[in-house]
Structure 1
Amino acid sequence: MTDISEMLKAYLAEAEDAPMVWGESDCSTWPAKWVERVRGVSVPLPAWSSREEAHALMRDTGSLVSLWDEALSECGIYETAVPSIGDVGVILSHAHGEAGGIFIDGGYFAWRAEPTGYRILRPRQNTIVKVWSIQ
């Protein structure tokens, strides 16, 4: 079996210069595709094609966490208390509100943002809304 950190490095490299596209490689679809790659399951997120549609879905379900909870539970992926490398989660950012992404080495968090690539930050514990274990 391939080491999760090596898989994650390759996944991050693929996104490095790629444009962020709503509904294809945004802060929800990008980590969902990561889950699909690692676990071999399709994450049943609803479809959207713009920021406005994504935010409307979040409002309709209550939050980004609600969207993820429903989709990931259907895949047998559940919450964990402490993020490990490769786990997916939702954080609360001052600039963007709830944002989904992937936890990387050292407690850092990577998420897709416009226009290209991904961003990395080290979230404070009180900004981590929820984490789901991919292991």
Structure 2
Amino acid sequence: MRTELAEPLRAFLDAAQESECVWGVSDCTRWAADWVEQVRGRSLGLPCWSSREEAYRRIAKAGSLERLWSEKLAIFGMFETGRPQLGDVGVIDTGRYGQVGGIFLHGEYFAWRAETGVAFLVPRTIVKAWSIV
């Protein structure tokens, strides 16, 4: 278990609960990227967008959110994991909203930065997960 990430992750989650979700600034992709950058200490380089529509266009052009993340995370040096642990990031399939990015928590929980705030759920389908360490 990664106990050293517990407090920084709790603070990161709390800060997101107190701020508005803005596309390209704190949406599910940018939010997860900010977490990676905080832990790793350098810029991740995920694409930026300024609106929901632009995000959807870029994701469609890449083929999926998972493909968009996979390319950039591989370049960044993050490796896929079949057993996500506390603080790892990933893409899940929500069914209703399609693929979304977020952060894995203790147990099988996943934190997703939705437009309405941070949602905590147990994913039905993990599309792909990457180890933070």
TM-score grouping bracket, smaller chain normalisation: over 0.9
Q: Which residue of 2 aligns with 1:46?
A: 47
Deviations 1:31-62 (A, max 9, x none): 00000000112111111011111110011011
Post-superposition offset of 1:86: 0.2
User: 2:95 & 2:62 partners in 1: Cα distance?
Assistant: 21
Distance between the aligned counterparts of 1:75 and 1:132, measured in 2?
Answer: 11
| 4+ aligned runs moved over 2 Å, structure 1 | none
Structure 2 unmatched runs, 5+: none
The separation in 1 between residues aligned to 2:60 and 2:110, in whole angstroms, is 24
Gaps of 5+ in 1: none
- Specify which of 128, 131, 134 is matched with residue 129 of structure 2: 131
Superimposed CA distance per residue, residues 12-46 of structure 1 (whole angstroms, 9 cap, x where no aligned partner)? 01101210000000010000000000011211111
Is the contact made by 1:41 and 1:75 (CA closer than 8 Å) also made in structure 2?
no
Instruction: Name the count of aligned residue pairs.
Output: 131
Matched residues in 2 for 1:123 and 1:100: separation? Answer: 11
C-alpha RMSD of matched pairs (Å): 1.1
Counterpart secondary structure, 2:57: helix
Q: Percent identity?
A: 54
For 1:1-135, list aligned pairs within 5 A: 3-115=4-116, 117-124=117-124, 127-135=125-133
TM-score of the superposition, structure 1-length normalised? 0.93
Give the whole-Å Cα distance in 2 for the aligned partners of 1:84 and 1:114.
Answer: 25
